[in-house]
Amino acid sequence: MKQKKKLNVAMIGYGFMGKTHSDAFTLAPKMFDTDYIPVLHTLSARNREKAEAFAERWGYHAVETDWRKVVASPEIDVVDICVPNNMHAEIAIAAAEAGKMVLTEKPLAMNVAEGERMVAAVKKAGVPNMTWYNYRRIPAVTLAKQIIDSGKLGKIFHLRAQFLQDWTISSDLPQGGPGTWRLDVGAAGSGVTGDLLAHCIDTAMWWNGPITKVCARTETFIKERTHVESGKTQPVGIDDACVFLCDFENGSLGNFESTRYARGHKAKYFIEINGEHASIAWDLHDLHRLAYFDHADESIVRGWRSIHVTDGDQPYMGNWWVPGLSVGYETSFTHQVVDFLQSLTSGKVVGPTFEDALQTQRVCEAVLASGRDRAWKDTNAKAMI
Ligand SMILES: NC(=O)c1ccc[n+]([C@@H]2O[C@H](COP(=O)([O-])OP(=O)(O)OC[C@H]3O[C@@H](n4cnc5c(N)ncnc54)[C@H](O)[C@@H]3O)[C@@H](O)[C@H]2O)c1
């Protein structure tokens, strides 16, 4: 039997993402061939009782309430950061300095300056790193990237994306604390721009190259909310909604929209790209399907195809069930772990690295500045892998 190498993982945080990542580390080496086997080693969180319950459920060997001890531990190989955005930089930089591989949830950081320090830290330490822009690894989204790269679309004219939710419409909802830290600018850095549009921007630039200029309109519909920690009514500093226009380096035009005030939409992530020969569209609510229109089709049968992405020759699907059976949201994280582990063997770096996530951060920061100043802004974003 081939000897596999163990990789001890420390998970920081046990919320929504702590769960998806624990699932991904568990399933990746079972469904795919990897030389490395992640071991759920230590779960780190502030509340010991809750952390112990999570650790027991998922099979972590140890619990530690102080993330600094985890990062310093010689037993840990990989530090995975699943806590609110204001904690990403400090933990990631400490982990890199301790020589650990570092994975962090998105957005990379609170702002570009923080993101640059994180990139510098992983580069200086020479440690493998990744940011969890997981939507790239939904098989239909990966297939779209392959079709675009093959040139089938021809010259690209347009890219449009939306990420719509409706969960913050009530003015009774507080800001800060468990579940509502996303409404607190001090914990989240921004609202829908960093939380939701960042996903669209990552996919868009991965598919279509750098966004160079943006013109945004941001809005905060509910101006004050009670803060969970202070108990006081405080101004809301996040953007509740954001729409922006943009230029891509390749000459195509983009328009993006995100809000948490679109009644009826829970997680409506839609992205479409139009080229001279063909178009592609994808919708998270129907994630295993890819819509494809090819103008070269015979005119009497020409129309949008709905490709059921479940065949063995489509991305990642050969390792799952049989053609016709779909996989879900959680497998985007599994696939990210697989690609990360395989990159350790091949030595070929896979994105989104911290450096890639910094490009998305640059666009987010330019969008927020544009919304504030009501003016076009340069992004200084570079190409990503
Ligand atoms: N890739 C994705 O699709 C995706 C989806 C959701 C969240 N995220 C990102 O993952 C990270 C964690 O988000 P989540 O949805 O898992 O959050 P969550 O609220 O479900 O969990 C947050 C975790 O951080 C801990 N924590 C530490 N300090 C905290 C504080 N001051 N306030 C609140 N919680 C604190 C909590 O105890 C909990 O374990 C964020 O950076 C978020 O942007 C990414």
* Domain coordinates in residue numbering, the chain: 5-134, 135-378
Contacts of 313 (CB under 8 A, 6+ apart): none
Q: Whose CA is nearest to atom 33 of ligand 1?
A: 178
SS3 assignment for 61-101: CEEECCHHHHHHCCCCCEEEECCCHHHHHHHHHHHHHCCCE
The alpha carbon of 84 and the centre of ligand 1 are apart by a number of angstroms equal to: 5
CB 243 within 8 A of CB 255: yes
**pLDDT single digits (tens) 164-183:** 999 999 999 999 999 999 99
The alpha carbon of 376 and the centre of ligand 1 are apart by a number of angstroms equal to: 32
Closest CA to 242 of 224, 219, 223: 219
The alpha carbon of 85 and the centre of ligand 1 are apart by a number of angstroms equal to: 8
pLDDT, averaged across the chain: 98
Q: Whose CA is nearest to atom 7 of ligand 1?
A: 17
Q: Ligand 1 site: residues with CB under 6 angstroms?
A: 13-18, 45-46, 82-85, 105-106, 132, 134, 178-179, 181, 187, 195
Q: What is the pLDDT of residue 2?
A: 75
Closest ligand 1 atom to residue 135 Cα is 3
Q: In the predicted model, is pLDDT for residue 126 greater than 90?
A: yes
Q: In the predicted model, is pLDDT for residue 1 greater than 90?
A: no
The predicted model gives 33-61 an average pLDDT of 97
What's the whole-model pTM score? Answer: 0.98
Q: Which tokens sit at 140?
A: 């239909």
The alpha carbon of 94 and the centre of ligand 1 are apart by a number of angstroms equal to: 19
Strands 78-81 and 278-283: unpaired
Residue in 12, 14, 16, 184 to alter for ligand 1 test, most ligand atoms within 8 A of Cβ:
16
Closest ligand 1 atom to residue 18 Cα is 16
Q: Considering the domain 135-378 in this protein, what is its CATH number?
A: 3.30.360.10
The predicted model gives 23-42 an average pLDDT of 98
Q: Whose CA is nearest to atom 19 of ligand 1?
A: 179
The predicted model gives 94-110 an average pLDDT of 98
Q: What is the pLDDT of residue 359?
A: 98
Q: In the predicted model, is pLDDT for residue 338 greater than 80?
A: yes
Q: Which tokens sit at 303?
A: 């129309």
Closest ligand 1 atom to residue 178 Cα is 33
The alpha carbon of 123 and the centre of ligand 1 are apart by a number of angstroms equal to: 25
CATH for the 5-134 domain, from 3.40.1130.10, 3.10.180.10, 3.40.50.720, 3.20.20.70: 3.40.50.720
Q: In the predicted model, is pLDDT for residue 108 greater than 80?
A: yes
